[in-house]
Amino acid sequence: MVHIDRNVINFLTFKERARKDLLKCIDDCPGTKALVWDDYLIGPFSQLADYSVLQDHQVTRMFTLAKSEFPSNMDFTSMIFLVRAELKIVKRIAKFLSKAASVKKASLPKIYVCFVPAISSVCQKALIENLPAAAQLVHEFRACPVGAIPLETDVMSLEHENSFRGLFLEEDPSCLHHLTIAIKDIQKVHGVIPNIYGKGKYAKQLIDMVVKHGKDAPNSEWNIACRFDNLFIIDRTVDLITIMPTQLTYEGLIDECFGIHQATVRLPADKFPNMGTSSKNPDQSESGRKDAPEKKIILNSSDELFTEIRDLNFSAVGPVFSGKAKFLNAKLGERFSAKEVAEMKEFVAKMPHLLSLKQSLTTFMTVAELIKPFVNNDNFLESLEVQQGFLSGQDADKVHPYIEQLIAQCEPFDQVIRLIVLQSEVNGGLKQPVLAHYKRDIIHSYGFEEIVSLNNMEKAGLFRTANKKWFRMARDALKLFVEHSDSSASKDISYIFSGYAPLSVRLAKHLVFPGWRTISDLLEVIPGEKIEAKQKIPEHLRKRRNSISSSVSSAGEEPAVVSLVVYIGGVTYAEVSALRHLSNQEHTSSIFYVLTTEMLSGTALIKSLKETMKTTVF
């Protein structure tokens, strides 16, 4: 799917800002530098600046908190910790620095602890409690204000690891603070967003913070014409349903099968023979690492073909591939028919484009082939059928035989839980005896230690027993399930899940048209508070409506309604795809952008809530 050009906002421009913020933070520390990384930040930050860029900024050595020891040879002036403000990280810093306490102070570098994205006094105190010497060792605590990282022109993510667990299980509000900063950054560039809507407990908290921030800010700072009309904030617990069924888009399936991190998927390199040298890292083969070599494939809109197929239902991808292959064949065939020099010249000019298309066609067809074994096995199909059954409204408040079977066969834990949560959500909660049956069954198969994981999931709201049947009403009012005979033919977003239209996306769409007022009864029954707020905007900065603006080419056409959808606790690739489908529909002029705490899949969510126990063998 190609992005249309009315898209005036490009989140990728935030990358440059984030990069500047990061480099400034490094430059502000004197002399040559050693960076000590919070391991989790390496991935997101490498998107902003790679090692050679860091070297240009006098970074001479790098360490990681998890794997490195405090260096004995300190041939640098500054030591910079780039870390998230989390207590577990603070403990690691304390451990890392404990060796420095015995070193003569004169031989130590200047130590800076830079919290991303903001200083945390709690963490500062905690560090000194963990290691009293740190009070003398650390030269300064600073903030490294890198907030959200753009993953795509229309998607920004805090890349906040396990944000769902942090918020809903541990009740740690730090990701709300980070979101407030990110929303403020967006408003600084694209103007104050006038209409704010929210659904869910944490949406309310975030909106309060955003509105308060807006009021506190000096007026001059916000002197920018508004580009966004709506800010819609959704708490992930309002729509747990959508995360549970298997994502069926091309990109979503890549995530389900292999996991996507920072728009990159790693696949076994031997499946990609003769394809560039990027995977052939000489260091790797020489040092004889045990890991099989991996090929990194970048998944973003810089690739034309991927942009076209990422949001499609997997079943619709095949025809695109064969169409492209035919196109390539015909175009490459032209070299034989070209007789005139001018014709040949034209052909040669097109060559690079054709060759790069050929290259990406091979890559993405290979990826599709790697996905095939997952989707073509009986288990997958059967599971899909059960998911569709739940979503289409088959009565299912009893113990489901297929789920029982999965447990009895000790199939992957996350697969089982996803189905149970789905069943629970579409029923507005499970009956107590049904839930108890599942839990006992799970413990029999996966072991007693899973009791802690199960309790975590209950606490985080994944299992509900309260019986409020709202899904049926939502399904009817919002057309959440549409039968399709052919999944590729439909333009409705429900085709993404072969029938199911994501709840969060339908809510976002209804906000723009025909408006939430039309579904106010439904919004009352869907769990989670409903919030509406306005931010005041001076007359001259408002978006002009109902007037023919000269900049709009087709006369009389209203400017598109632009909305920023914020997911607290994570968003799936399939939901992003569904929002993109809406943005690209010809008749509705609404455009959606996404800000999320992280990219999420049902499996990743459940893994984050699992507790791993050290089991001792006697």
Partner 1 sequence: TFIPESFEALSVPEQLSALQNAVERFDHAKDDFNKKITEDQIKLIRHQVKLEEKFAKKFVGLTVHKTLEALLQDSQWKLAEEFKKDYQMSDRHFWFLKVEVLARLKQWEELEKF
Given the rule CB under 8 A, which residues bind partner 1?
399, 401, 404-405, 407-410, 436-437, 439-441, 443-449, 451-452, 455, 611, 613-618
How near is the Cβ of 129 to partner 1 at its closest, in Å? Answer: 21
How near is the Cβ of 424 to partner 1 at its closest, in Å? Answer: 16
How near is the Cβ of 49 to partner 1 at its closest, in Å? Answer: 39
How near is the Cβ of 317 to partner 1 at its closest, in Å? Answer: 36
Nearer to partner 1 among residue 294 and residue 441 (C-beta): 441
Distance between CA 527 and CA 546 in Å, rounded?
36
Nearest to 463 by CA among 498, 516, 416: 416
**Contact predicate 572/601, CB 8 Å:** yes
How near is the Cβ of 362 to partner 1 at its closest, in Å? Answer: 42
Measured between alpha carbons, how far apart are the two ends of the chain, in Å? 57
DSSP string for residues in 471-528: HHHHHHHHT-B---S-TTT--SGGGGGTSBPPHHHHHHHHHHTT-GGGGHHHHHHSSS
3-state DSSP of 49-96: CCHHHHHHCCEEEEEECCCCCCCCCCCCCEEEEEEECCHHHHHHHHHH
Nearer to partner 1 among residue 180 and residue 456 (C-beta): 456
CB-CB neighbours of 564 under 10 Å: 26
How near is the Cβ of 454 to partner 1 at its closest, in Å? Answer: 9
Which residues fall within 8 angstroms of residue 47, CB to CB, at 6 or more apart?
A: 15, 149, 262, 263
DSSP bridge pairs for 265: 297
Nearer to partner 1 among residue 327 and residue 402 (C-beta): 402
How near is the Cβ of 39 to partner 1 at its closest, in Å? Answer: 23
Nearer to partner 1 among residue 187 and residue 608 (C-beta): 608
How near is the Cβ of 449 to partner 1 at its closest, in Å? Answer: 6
Nearer to partner 1 among residue 292 and residue 617 (C-beta): 617
Helix, strand, coil percent content, the chain, rounded in steps of 5: 50, 15, 35
Nearer to partner 1 among residue 87 and residue 436 (C-beta): 436
DSSP state letter for 597: S
Nearer to partner 1 among residue 97 and residue 403 (C-beta): 403
Nearer to partner 1 among residue 295 and residue 400 (C-beta): 400
Whole-number Cα distances in Å, 148 to 15, 186, 230: 9, 10, 19
**Contact predicate 183/231, CB 8 Å:** yes
